[in-house]
Structure 1
Amino acid sequence: MDDISTSSLLLILTVLIITSAFFSGTETAMMSLNRYRLRHLAQNGHRGAKRADQLLQRPDRLIGLILIGNNLVNILASAIATVIGTRLYGDWGIAIATGALTMAVLIFAEVTPKTLAALHPEKLAYPNSIVLKPLMTLFYPFVWLVNMFSNAILRLFGVKTQHSDGDSLSAEELRSVVHEAGAMIPRRHREMLVSILDLEKVTVEDIMIPRAELFAIDVNGDYKTIMRKLTRSPHSRVLLYRDNIDDVVGMMHLSDVLRLITREQGELDKSTLLRAVEELYFIPEGTPLNVQLLKFQSAKERMGVVVDEYGDIQGLVTLEDILEEIVGDFTTGLQTPPSEDITKEDGGSLLVDASITLRDFNRETEWQLPTDGPKTLNGLILEQLEDIPAPGTTLEVAGHQLEVVEVAENMVKMVRLKKDS
């Protein structure tokens, strides 16, 4: 280096610091890329994203290449800075060059480019990958040798070096991603996506129409009584049973009854009517909604009766109920909409039909009454009090004051609620 002028050495040193900044910034930019956005862009033909994705397939080799380049540049810069310092300041030049180069590298080759890369990874990673690709080919033998020794040392400490798909997301992680999408995804769409993820946490008991609220007809009644109840049915499908609802016969669709009346020209009897009864589809209690949705699809069914381990009927679930868990209420189904069960009173209190499910109540009011126990507001009150309360009884649940307004048939019928008592 004695033959090279000081000004030329300063120019070379400047170029080396810029090169060091390139490697430092590129490392941070590549590692800061959003892997899901990267793959999306790569699949859509973005050239820079394709190059970056290929390089990140083996992050150990990418890091090895960048560190090899960075260390070579920094070591060479240190040697040149020492020569310059010795020429300008003699024996003190080594210390001065060390301090000056350290500050220069920290500011211009480390902190500044890495901060910029962390803030705008795509703007640096994609164009810089144009340089990294040929460098990877050129230095591949050296990179492979360094990685071989590095991976061997890691294996000595029990660290697995095989490339694993660490970008897979669990349901909880995906839920967080959806929540953090912000304005990129409309709020209503985010709610629907989260609802789909929540299907595995919700069982058929959480959304079923309870046994006590089922509209059913005893087929042992006389023909006129059966027809009168059929014509007054609030639903298009009616559950039929013998004497006790646990002895179910099947389901009857009112459209089938209408076809029978038309075909028989109004001359129907009970035996002819009962030929229109359809077989029931049974659902074991505890079935998650995501599983039941697929079962409905495979069985070509839209409705099922929930039974417990003893075969006793617990309630009724429809395909519409599951879909409403995802998209919200979109039509009047077998169940009364929650808004009809909740009346706002002057002063901010709510008068609520206690048969409402806690999930529907929380969804309608955005309150957070516990749902990990009883399914209805009546059940929650009975669990808390461990007794059937008298009208006027008050209790506090999750920061809300509940007042029992009406009790009948050993059940709480009406409740008044006040928030944050």
Structure 2
Amino acid sequence: MNWLSEYAGWLVPMLVLILLSALFSGSEAALFSLTPRHRRQLSRSGVGGRIADRLLADSERLLSAILFWNLLINMTYFAIASIVAGKLESSVAGGTSVAVLFTAISLLTIIFFSEMLPKSIAVLSPVQASILIAGPLSVAVRVVSPLLPLIKTANMLASRLLWPSFVPENEIDLADIERAVELSTHDAALLQRERMALRSLVEIAETRASELMRPRSKLQLVETPIDRQILFAQTPPGGYAMITDQAGERIIGALGVRMLRPSQLDDVEQLVEPVIYVPWSAPVARVLDQLTENDLSVAVVVDEYGDAIGALSTDRIFRRMLGPEHHQFEELPNAIAIEQVDRDRYRVLGSVSVRQLAKHLQVAIPDESVATVAGFIQRQNERLPRIGDQAPLGDCWLTVVEESEGGLWIEVQRRGDDDDDSDDASPRDIG
């Protein structure tokens, strides 16, 4: 007890410094592990959440302040520990062994209680931790703000002195990548697969969402509130179930059913994530950027009338980019949207992208403002498509031949030489 009372004036400040160091270490781990979804949640979490969101708006300033305070606190802590170790070494009751033991305990204590423990807790609950520490951290950042420009300048000068020759590299051209692929292997089969993957990456920039989306008729739609028997009755195509409103008309969320753990099956409502809405003509690369930016998995594709005509997930995009030869076979045989019946005759689902069909037929699209084949026929006839309605597409005739729960089926027939003499000619009268 006499020993504790003698050194209490040093040990109490060391304990306070450990707590302060834990505060700044935990705040760094919590704030900089937040995802975009957590950031949106912060802005709706009261005063503390709004303060944390405001601090993250200038992340460089925030990080500089945290590192400054952490460094200052740790240096002060070790300075006090050195003083106490020196007193213990020179005291009669202590000695060199006691001083070394105290120094080792001091080092392990600050490593565990100021670095490992607070960061582990903060990463487990980053939103709650950010809300709790936002107030004190805001004051700490405001106090050190006048020094931050000086610290930033010192960092810049030090980096230029240590790495004076570092310059940004030029962007790599597509031709350079293809050349690197050719030189990387002598395996013909591997080279072919790498070329195909590279070609798919380039095509994604020109592919529209309507060409790659999964049609609405092929989606599993589940109304809210979610009925688990309906949800788990079958495996949803692509692994995602689309959650609609109570009327079953508007898609309001997506649920990754195939990624659910057994412990999550009783609380699936909390796991439904929002969706974004993109126009049918949006490039797939831009859709992927928006999904990544918002930390979401599914985009709902809408046509020119604002109706949802399909959905596009990040899984589907990456499958198309990295496995193009397998992508076309991922649907069941009876779900093939474009089926060749004869040499110059095809059978097409109405929800298929008219641009995709035009690419398949190698014809030009007269109206780029239409998303689907059914919409194209509707635009040509100025009414909802009926059985027998027709529309010309390049050197082909589109004819509605069947209407079922799965949607409209259109027959595509190439026009003969006799039909090419007149633009108004058709293989049969329109009913």
Q: Shorter-chain TM-score: which interval?
A: 0.3 to 0.5
Q: Report the TM-score, using the length of structure 1 for normalisation.
A: 0.46
Q: Report the TM-score, using the length of structure 2 for normalisation.
A: 0.45
